[in-house]
Structure formats: C-alpha cells, structure tokens
Amino acid sequence: MHLAAIVAHPDDAEIFCGGTLAKHADRGDKVTVVYMTRGEYGGGSDTTKAEIAATREQEANTAAETLGVETAFLDYEDGRITYSLENRLQIVDTLREHRPDIVLTHFRDDMHPDHRTTSRLVTDAYYMSSLPLVETVNEPWEPQNIYYVGKPTSSFDPDVYVDISEYQSKKEDAIRDHESQVEWLQEHGGIDAEFDDLIEGVRAQARTLGRTRGVEFAEGFVPLHKHTTAYLD
C-alpha cells in the first residue's frame, strides 16, 4: 500500500500524523509526504524568506529519514496558496505521479488559510484524478480514500483512530528535527497558542486520543468515505 500525505508546510505531517506515517513505513508500506510550500513565513525578520525555506526543506528531509518516508515539494508560496483550476490540476497530476492508495491531508475547517485551501484542492483533485478526459502529464489514477487530519481548535471530530503507542517517540523525534520551528513556535505561538510548547502539546493530544481507544497514544482521522478497501490502522 502507498500513503501520500499532502500538507501545506514542513512539519504539518509530523505534527498531525507522524506516528501513523512511521507505523505504515515500518510495516513496509510506501509513504510519501508532499509539501505544498517550504514554509518561508516561519521565521523572524533577522533572516530572509529564502534562507528560511532552505532551512525548512533540509529539516523536512531530516524528519523524513527519522520517519522512514519520502518527500516531495510543490513550490507554492507560504501563506498564499490559492484555489484555482490550474492549482487543482497540479494536484491531480501530483496524485497521478505518486499513485497513492490513501491520501492524508488537512481537515476543511482549520484556522490556517493554507490548510483550508490545501484541503479543498486535494479533495477536488482526488475526484478528478481518475477521470480519463482530464488531461495532465501523468496517467489517471484513482486513490481509494482521503483521511483528514485536524487541529484541536477546529470542529475536527475524528472517528478513525490509529494506535501509535510504539511510534510516539519517533514522531516526537521527527518534530524535533524541525528545530527552527520548534523554537519559533515556542517564542511566537500567538494565535497558535496550543503549540506554544509544541512537543508537550502534541504528546498531550495523542495521549487524550489514546485514552478514548484504550491505548497509550493515538492519532485521529476523519475519512472521506466510511467504507473503503484501503484502511489506516
């Protein structure tokens, strides 16, 4: 099975579904994290956007090695992902290029505009990816399902849970690989205050979800289709 997480920024996949990605990679599934942007707004005025982007790409690749996954970057601009037919077709072609069975992406209701737009683009591209008359570089492909990840501040209400008890530490290590962002969010949490202490916050969320399933740590998802032949577990 092949999983592809399509997320807006470096560190999004690690924070929201890093344990699940590591678990599937460990069992031999192919796992790819596709980053829409390089997160060049995630830094202070003492450096340039280009420097931040280069740092974050390097950190993402380091985190990928920790999780045992592959990476790809689509070169959208941080904070400026827009919904358009052109962008939707690019995501269609991305799905056709990577040919995942399961797609993971942001939940539609999220405080960050890049997350919301990514969710919509991926969802609509998922529908179009299998249509033979939608022409892109790569051949049509039909993923089996989308699983959405969300933030505690949204209306996200998971009904699929993955036990990541054996992978929580690896998930935390992968988040720490995003060293610049762990420091940045610690100092500039602001409206993202739930991530002021990023590692502790992520661990607490996983522990809370785990308790609902009788395990130590879990990650939660909302599937697009309730009945499917491709499952996260």
Superfamily grouping for domain 2-223 = LmbE-like (3.40.50.10320)
The pLDDT of residue 46 is: 67
Q: Is the backbone of residue 218 left (phi > 0), alpha (psi -120 to 50) or beta?
A: beta
Nearest to 154 by CA among 4, 16, 8: 16
Which pLDDT belongs to residue 193?
Answer: 47
pLDDT of 94 higher than 90: yes
Give the model's confidence band at 226: pLDDT under 50 very low, under 70 low, under 90 confident, else very high.
confident
User: What's the whole-model pTM score?
Assistant: 0.92
Strands 102-106 and 30-37, sheet pairing: unpaired
What pLDDT, on a 0 to 100 scale, did the predictor assign at position 216? 98
> Where do runs of H (alpha helix) occur along the chain?
12-26, 49-67, 85-98, 113-128, 168-176, 179-187, 198-213
The string of pLDDT tens digits covering residues 6-48 is 999 999 999 999 999 999 999 999 999 999 999 777 666 667 8
- Which sequence spans correspond to the domains of the chain? 2-223
Between residues 200 and 32, the one the model is more confident about: 32
Task: Kindly list the distances between the CA atom of residue 173 and the CA atoms of 14, 31, 97, 179, in Å, as whole numbers in the listed order.
Answer: 9, 18, 29, 10
Element (DSSP H or E) covering residue 163: strand 160-163
pLDDT tens for residues 121-153?
999 999 999 999 999 999 999 999 999 999 877
- Whether the predicted pLDDT of 185 surpasses 70: no
- pLDDT band at residue 3, thresholds of 50, 70 and 90? very high
Q: Backbone phi, then psi, for 146, in 5-degree steps?
A: -110, 135
Report the chain's mean pLDDT, rounded to a whole number: 90
The amino acid occupying position 67 is: L
Is residue 125 within 8 A of residue 93, CB to CB? The reply is: no
Rounded CA-CA distance 179/187 in Å is 13
